[in-house]
Amino acid sequence: MQGGVCGGLRKVAMEIPFVVREIRLDEPMLAQQAWQIQLQAHQVEAEWLGYPQLPVMWNTLQEAMACKDRVIAVFEGEALRGLLVLSRRQQGGWHIERTVVDPAHFRVGWGYRLLNHLLAVVDEVSVDTVEVNVAAIALYHKAGFVLEQRWTVPDADGLVLWRMMYRAGRLQASLHLDDKGWIREARQIPSPNCDARETGPAELVVIHNISLPPYRYGSPAVEQLFTNRLEPQGDPFFAQIHQLKVSAHFFIRRSGQLLQFVPVQQRAWHAGVSSWQGRERCNDFSIGIEMEGCDFEPFADAQYQMLIGLLRELQVHLPLRGMTGHEHIAPGRKTDPGPFFDWGRVRAEIDLPA
């Protein structure tokens, strides 16, 4: 079977599931929503930390409306789901004053979407978070922050904080392809969904995006799908796709982690019905690379760095002649990697035409 995956698992003309944008809080109705959400989130966080003295960002609606900081908001339809409030650092870059998510919508990715939007356009960001707030630390780690400085807050019953930092461009991907077609530095998870190439080595790279469940990142669902272990009861969407026999050669997580499912000498089942420069059945002569993401938000800096490192190594060993997106070889049927994929950044480093 030669299936097709990715942005991919859904049809074209999807409704936009969320919008992330910068806002001003001098509009009363929007300021009212933001103020109420931060009060609700503050109450939950103070109770969870056992620290009732935790400062409130805005005590009154008037304080919210007078806010001069940079504010990024995420909306589901017309509903405000979260805020990211930022101030300028004296030494350059930005400092996150508060990440606020509506407590009724915790743990569904709103905080990460806010961070991802910010990190697509800035190079250096700091944030302070309480050491015992492991969920917040995990969120910032996932987005590419690292622990930098630890201190105890005076007169705060031993409350410990961490300064975390994000700096773009730290990952240096140096990869090595072995003679069996596996990248040594990748997490290798062999997929049964592959077969022999019949037309010689791969000549084309096809870029995809994928997220399982849709628009959610970090779960093991993609590797489960590619190894036929996806549980249909895990999510309503999984019940629709768990019987698919699909795969890709590589999967790059938001953190930049590289997973490999199929050796490059073999054919992965990623493209489905497709055509490139008049040649049908692109699976026969292509390498499929999945980027963890969706059509509606930017990819992470670490992903681009890993992708560029991977492409450089593949160019050394394969007679690659082109690089394109799933949407280009299956127009009208597929939409990935989508409008947020930065082709200019990749092509500036990798000399492969469309």
- For 137-173, the pLDDT digits (tens) are 999 988 889 999 999 988 767 789 999 999 887 666 6
| Listed residues 135, 167, 199: the one ending a domain | 167
Q: Which of 167, 197, 221 is the last residue of a domain?
A: 167
Q: Any idea what DSSP says for residue 283?
A: G
CB 327 within 8 A of CB 335: yes
Instruction: Give pLDDT, residue 49.
Output: 83
Does residue 320 have a pLDDT over 80? yes
Strand arrangement, sheet containing 70-76 = 19-23, 70-76, 79-88, 94-101, 124-130, 160-167, 146-152
Do 150 and 200 fall into the same domain?
A: no
Looking at the structure, tell me whether residues 195 and 59 fall in a common domain. Answer: no
The answer to whether residue 9 sits within a structural domain is: no
244, 210 in Cβ contact below 8 A?
no
CA nearest neighbour of 288 among 223, 187, 177, 205: 205
Same structural domain, 192 and 105: no
**Which residue segment(s) compose the domain that 116 sits in?**
19-167
Give the pLDDT of residue 246.
97
Please list the alpha-helical segments (H only) found in the chain.
Answer: 28-49, 61-65, 110-119, 134-143, 221-226, 238-241, 301-317, 326-329, 343-349
Whether 138 and 191 map to the same domain: the answer is: no
Q: At which of 139, 167, 195 does a domain end?
A: 167
The confidence score (pLDDT) of residue 121 equals 86
What is the number of domains present in the chain?
2
Residue with tokens 């394969």: 318
148 is catalytic: no
Both 307 and 213 in one domain: the answer is yes
Q: At what angle do helices 134-143 and 110-119 cross, to 10 degrees?
A: 40
Looking at the predicted structure, is the pLDDT value of residue 14 above 90?
Answer: no
Q: What is the pLDDT of residues 66-91, one digit of tens each?
A: 999 999 999 999 999 999 999 999 88
Asked whether residue 236 carries a pLDDT value surpassing 50, the answer given is yes
Question: Any idea what the CATH number is for the domain that residue 212 is in?
Answer: 3.40.80.10
Judge whether residue 329 has pLDDT over 90: yes
Task: Give residue 2's pLDDT.
Answer: 44
Structural domain contains residue 173: no
The answer to whether residue 198 is domain-embedded is: yes
In one letter, which amino acid is 138? A
CATH of the domain at 131: 3.40.630.30
Query: Are residues 307 and 273 located together in one domain of the fold?
Result: yes
Q: Please check the confidence at residue 317 and state whether its pLDDT lies above 60.
A: yes
Residue 282, SS3 per DSSP: helix
Q: What are the tokens at 4?
A: 């097709």
330 and 286 within one domain = yes
80-129: per-residue pLDDT in tens?
A: 999 999 999 988 899 999 999 999 999 889 999 999 999 988 999 999 99
Single-letter amino acid code for the residue at 201: P
Does 11 map to a domain? no
Which residues lie across from 127 on neighbouring strands?
Answer: 96, 164
Based on the fold, state whether residues 100 and 223 are members of the same structural domain.
no
Distance CA 250, CA 116 (A): 22
Q: What is the pLDDT of residue 218?
A: 87
Assigned domain for 178 exists: no
Give the residue, 268 or 174, on which the prediction is more confident. Answer: 268
191 and 130 in a common domain: no
For residues 151 and 249, state if they share a domain.
no
Residue 209 lies in a domain: yes
Q: Is residue 61 over pLDDT 50?
A: yes
Asked if 80 and 41 sit in the same domain, the reply is yes
CA–CA dist 209, 193 (Å, integer):
18
Closest Cα to residue 330, out of 4, 1, 2? 4
Residue 320 lies in a domain: yes
Is 354 among the domain residues? no
Both tokens of 39, joined, read 């009060």
Q: Which of 185, 198, 231, 290 is catalytic?
A: 290
pTM of the model: 0.85
Q: Examine the domain organization and report whether 141 and 257 are in the same domain.
A: no
Which pLDDT value is given to residue 172?
A: 60
